[in-house]
Amino acid sequence: MNELAVIGQGATAEVFEWTNGDCLKLFKQGYEDSARQEFHVSQQIMRTPLRIAKPKQLIQYQDRIGIIYERISGNSFGFIIMNDPSKMKAWAEQFARLHAEIHQSPLPDLPSPEEQLNGYIAHCSLLSDMQKSKLLSFLSSRSDIKALCHFDFHPLNVLRSEEQDVVIDWNNGKIYHPLADVALTTVLLKVSGFPEQLALSFCKNYIDAYLQLSGYDPQSFLHFQIAAAIARLNEKKAHETEAIERIIQHNLQLLLM
């Protein structure tokens, strides 16, 4: 792999320079299904008006699977926030607007996570049977509202190019209620390693801006944040467990569930 220059890396893949101004996202061994899933979802998103990095080809490179993407030049939203926190409110409002644009997009042919999420909730030991029943009933009552959801929408997955903001890493793209997507973003921000006060300030401004744009109410958001936190808990990332459990317990208290 020495002949390719690394330009980025994450938990499941590394990104390398490629030919013709493209880049190669090369998945680590054991994540072959993730590569195929991301390529499929990205192809579906290309059928919408949203600006994303164009997926050009799914390839085998040496002993790993990768996706050749159009290379997008620009810094991540996370880099920009960290380097200019004085504009926190403006950045959070722009982030909310971009998320709302995704949720207003035409629906591509993608599945819903509803059945899987309901299963996570049913088996969550942090909730009583009564709390599970109330939460599941609430989610069921909102099941007719559907939108394109990213489900990994955080500042490191948004690139600010000269032309416009570009959202990357669509592996988890699904069709579901938009507040679930927003709620998961706030959970990710709180466990992502951003400085605590910065993450809390960004979250508050982002939530306020999104709710104002969308017209959804704070009580509904709290329900979806519990559901999103339970879903994240099932990814079994030990270093996140305590913080996520605090989010769940805090929201249960706020909702008097």
Flag whether 151 is in a domain. yes
Task: Identify the domain containing residue 16 by its residue range.
Answer: 6-70
Q: Which of 59, 76, 50 is nearest to 148 (CA)?
A: 50
Q: The dihedral of CA 243, 249, 255, 257: what is its sign?
A: positive
Confidence of residue 254 (pLDDT cuts 50, 70, 90): very high
Give the rounded distance of the alpha carbon of 72 from its chain centre.
Answer: 19
For residues 21 and 89, membership in a common domain is answered with no
For residues 179 and 235, membership in a common domain is answered with yes
- Looking at residue 205, its pLDDT comes to 97
Average pLDDT for residues 229-254, to the nearest whole number?
94
For residues 229 and 114, membership in a common domain is answered with yes
The Cα 84–Cα 6 span in angstroms is 26
The Cα 150–Cα 181 span in angstroms is 7
Flag whether 1 is in a domain. no
For residues 107 and 189, membership in a common domain is answered with yes
Domain final residue, candidates 18, 35, 70: 70
Percent of the chain with pLDDT over 90: 87
Say if pTM beats, i.e. exceeds, 0.75. yes
Domain final residue, candidates 54, 70, 86: 70
For residues 82 and 38, membership in a common domain is answered with no
pLDDT at position 172 over 60:
yes
User: Which CATH number do you get for residue 212?
Assistant: 3.90.1200.10
Instruction: Give buried/exposed letters for 48-76 (b at 16+ CB in 10 A, else e).
Output: eebbbbebbebeeeeebbbbbbebbebeb
Residues 222, 137, 128: CA angle, nearest 5 degrees: 75
pLDDT in tens, 229-241: 999 999 988 889 9
Looking at the structure of the chain, the number of domains it has is: 2
pLDDT in tens, 47-62: 999 999 999 999 999 9
- Looking at residue 19, its pLDDT comes to 93
Flag whether 188 is in a domain. yes
Confidence of residue 202 (pLDDT cuts 50, 70, 90): very high
